[in-house]
Amino acid sequence: MQRTEHHASFGGRQEVWQHASTSTGTDMKVGVYLPPAALKGEQCPVLYWLSGLTCTEQNFITKAGAQQFAAEHNLILVAPDTSPRGEGVANDDAYDLGQGAGFYLNATQAPWAPHFRMEDYVVQELPALIEQHFPASAARGIFGHSMGGHGALTLALRHPGKYKSVSAFSPIVAPSQVPWGQKALKAYRGDDPAAWKQHDTVALIAGATERLPLLVDQGDADEFLAEHLRPELLQAACDKAGHPLTLRMQPGYDHSYYFIASFMADHLAHHARALRPER
């Protein structure tokens, strides 16, 4: 791993690292915030952030205002890029497919399959690297926004025991039922709707073997709410399955990082209660 950026922040340090990924077969960039306790060598829990469509590792670390609260709770924050990138990596002219739009799954279809293996990267490869190179404990949480909210929820549901906490901002909760998700799932996973449901939070809730409490914030002025996000489907699925969900509709908020930053403190506190129960 090669460090490409470092900045003092709230008594800790915001860094950016680059490394060759065995999962994607490309170089990947990842933001890592080390809180004050980690700089002193104390093992700290790790909270993984998954960003939305078109984002890189930079959006979260520069716009979310999360470092202040990660320092307060002594949580390491890890924010990877949203997809593989580079020469020879398949792409599409649209913003919602290809580079910048990995959807946090392993693609099985050409031309995406060789590099678009973001599920393996986020769930297996990246935690192993973080726990090898930083003072990170094995306690992990995961959260994200939009496409990244979809990723956080589905990866937590698909890998019980991997994470101790999960939350999301304006997630795509039913990708097999909405245009963003249908386009990506068909391209990456093929024409079989059964394969799509393996990466659909609403479909996965019914068979969940672990009942991690879900915290979801959604702005009611979000321009993507009715067509692409559909939080009412998540509420109905959780009600039917008895899965713990706190869904908060936030009046006047849109899909932007202004919304995310406004409720970041609540999400960090939610994760800290699970990741640092001794505090």
Q: Is there a catalytic annotation at residue 255?
A: yes
Q: Is there a catalytic annotation at residue 228?
A: no
**CB contact at 8 A, 95 and 103:** no
Which of 151, 4, 117, 12 shows the shortest CA–CA distance to 73?
Answer: 12
Residue 111, preceding peptide bond in cis (omega within 30° of 0): yes
Instruction: Tell me the one-letter amino acid at 204.
Output: L
Q: Is there a catalytic annotation at residue 222?
A: yes
Rg (C-alpha) for the chain, rounded Å, is 17
Alpha helices in the chain (DSSP H): 36-39, 57-63, 67-73, 118-120, 126-133, 147-158, 179-189, 193-197, 201-205, 231-241, 257-262, 264-275
CB burial class (10 A; 0-12, 13-18, 19+) of residue 100? Answer: buried
Q: Which of 150, 255, 270, 271 is catalytic?
A: 255
Q: Which of 9, 21, 146, 167 is catalytic?
A: 146
Query: Looking at the annotation, which residues are catalytic?
Result: 146, 222, 255
